[in-house]
């Protein structure tokens, strides 16, 4: 399987944010999307997730077969907002997502253990600290299988230990033949990852 973008353009509010962007990510590979604030990293990830239309260009998941014919449905999208209901408990949120996404991979308890949140699964999501919210959202990547993980500044708000644990989870996903496209200002501990630089670096 291979995620391929050719001459992609992204627009926001009628303004072209980036154009002529091409890259390919194969199974087991990661691509780090870097660049200054406003360069279009989030816009690119949202296009890959199918949440925005590209203004031009081609996007495909080659070799996805009948199971993954399109890019969007083959992706987990971890955006700036964590996509959880604040009034539901951590466990209720994840049970909802697993039913919605299907393709169960880990149980909710296993995923919570993997992100170190097993003791607070009963708390409403809205009570969680910033880093705990991020960890609960990361657990969403584990409960249902998707070959492509789209991660927008995934380690923002994580403490050192959580960052290390998340690094292991990402490397595990790649070892199992998954793909990662991550917008980040920080190193993610993914050796050998490719880099897509967007916009002009600030001087
Ligand atoms: N709905 C919108 N309408 C108009 N402009 C928008 C809209 N959403 C985003 N933009 C603009 O698009 C540009 C790209 O934004 P984007 O969030 O993709 O940047 P980014 O590279 O992810 O930045 P950061 O590093 O700050 O997260 C920015 O200039 C932003 O102000």
Q: Which domains does the chain have, with CATH numbers?
A: 2-197 (3.40.50.300)
As a whole number of angstroms, the distance between CA 128 and CA 133 comes to: 6
Ligand 1 pocket mutation pick from 34, 40, 201 by most atoms within 8 angstroms of CB: 40
- What is the chain's Cα-based Rg? 17
Q: Cβ(40) to ligand 1 under 6 A?
A: yes
Question: Which of 117, 133, 141, 152 has its CA nearest to residue 82?
Answer: 133
Nearest atom (ligand 1) to Cα of 36: 25
pLDDT tens-digit readout, 166-175? 999 999 999 9
ipTM, two decimals, is 0.95
The closest-lying atom of ligand 1 relative to the alpha carbon of residue 45 is: 18
Query: Cβ–Cβ contacts within 10 Å for residue 151, how many?
Result: 24
Per-residue pLDDT tens over the stretch 96-118:
999 999 999 999 999 999 999 99
Task: Please report the pLDDT score of residue 200 as a whole number.
Answer: 66
The candidate with the shortest Cα–Cα distance to 106, out of 142, 77, 147, is 142
Report how far ligand 1's centroid is from the alpha carbon of 21 (Å). Answer: 16
Whole-number percent of the chain with pLDDT over 70: 98
User: Is residue 200 classed exposed, middle or buried when 0-12, 13-18 and 19+ CB atoms within 10 A define those classes?
Assistant: exposed
pLDDT value at residue 175: 97
Dump pLDDT digits (tens) for 131-172. Answer: 999 999 999 999 999 999 999 999 999 999 999 999 999 999
Distance CA(199)–CA(44), nearest Å, equals 12
Q: Which residue has the tokens 């697993």?
A: 98
Q: Going by CA atoms, what residue is nearest to atom 24 of ligand 1?
A: 37
Averaged pLDDT score across all residues of the chain: 95
Which atom belonging to ligand 1 lies closest to the Cα atom of 153?
27
- With a 6 Å cutoff on the Cβ, whether 39 touches ligand 1 is yes
Q: Is there a contact between 57 and 129 (Cβ–Cβ < 8 Å)?
A: no
pLDDT at position 202, please? 46
- pLDDT grade, residue 27 (50/70/90)? very high
37 lines ligand 1 (CB under 6 A): yes
Question: What length does the chain have?
Answer: 203
**Cα 131 from Cα 71, distance rounded (Å):** 29
């Amino acid at each position: 399987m291979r995620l391929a973008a050719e001459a992609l353009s992204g627009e926001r509010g009628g303004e072209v944010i980036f154009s002529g962007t091409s890259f390919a990510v194969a199974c087991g590979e990661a691509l780090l999307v870097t660049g200054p604030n406003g360069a279009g990293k989030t816009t690119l990830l949202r296009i890959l997730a199918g949440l925005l239309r590209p203004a031009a260009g081609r996007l495909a998941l080659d070799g996805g077969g009948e199971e993954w014919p399109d890019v969007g449905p083959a992706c987990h999208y971890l955006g700036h907002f964590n996509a959880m209901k604040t009034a539901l408990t951590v466990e209720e949120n994840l049970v909802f997502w697993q039913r919605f996404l299907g393709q169960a991979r880990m149980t909710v308890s296993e995923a919570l253990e993997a992100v170190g949140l097993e003791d607070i699964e009963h708390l409403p999501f809205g009570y969680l600290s910033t880093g705990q919210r991020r960890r609960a959202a990361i657990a969403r990547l584990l409960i249902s299988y998707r070959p492509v993980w789209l991660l927008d500044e995934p380690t923002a708000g994580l403490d050192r230990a959580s960052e290390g644990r998340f690094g292991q989870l990402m490397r595990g996903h790649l070892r199992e033949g998954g793909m990662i496209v991550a917008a980040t200002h920080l190193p993610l501990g993914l050796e050998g990852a490719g880099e897509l630089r967007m916009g002009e670096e600030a001087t």
